[in-house]
Amino acid sequence: MYQSILPRRAYTLVQEAFLREDKGGEVQTTELIYCPMTGIRGPVPDTAVAWREQHRHALWEFNPWTGQRRSPRDIEQDPDGKLLLPPGETPTGEWEHHILMLIRADGALGQFMRLGWAAKLDAQQLIVKLSKGEQALTFRLTEPTDEQRYYQLLHLEVIRFALQ
């Protein structure tokens, strides 16, 4: 059974973000409360940018603003927590656009998997890799042509499946 890489909370955050009138500002400027690696309170350094710079290849196993453990799939897709939105922060337009593209791509990915494709999504780069039998395809969803090809392929696969 396919399970979305996005927790239900992410969908709620995106919906809440669009209801806010005070858009703007940078994402992840709120001080970290918990260590992203251990979940222990009081990380040093205490900002996301400084923490990433000091711990370049460390996985964010915990949400540093809530202390909650992240799922293995979330860690695999977003290892350094760049897509996490700290509570109370207003997302940037760029962050909102990225998350919406990610939600759409993730939903389509589930459909591809139901249709027999093996699939992998790089949530930060918005790159989808699909394979079925001998065929292997890569789509960079930040490139409009690739994004269009990705959704056209899904449309064709659904029609093919329906006609079987």
Give the DSSP letter string of 93-111: HHHHHHHHHHHHHHHHHHH
**pTM for the whole thing?**
0.69
pLDDT, tens only, 52-62: 889 888 899 99
CA distance 149 to 39: 41
Q: Tokens representing 101? A: 């593209």
Provide the pLDDT confidence category of residue 26 given band limits of 50, 70 and 90.
low
Calculate mean pLDDT across residues 21-50.
Answer: 80
Calculate mean pLDDT across residues 88-98.
Answer: 84
Question: What does R_g of the chain's alpha carbons equal in angstroms?
Answer: 18
Provide the pLDDT confidence category of residue 16 given band limits of 50, 70 and 90.
very low
φ and ψ at residue 131, rounded to 5 degrees:
-145, 145
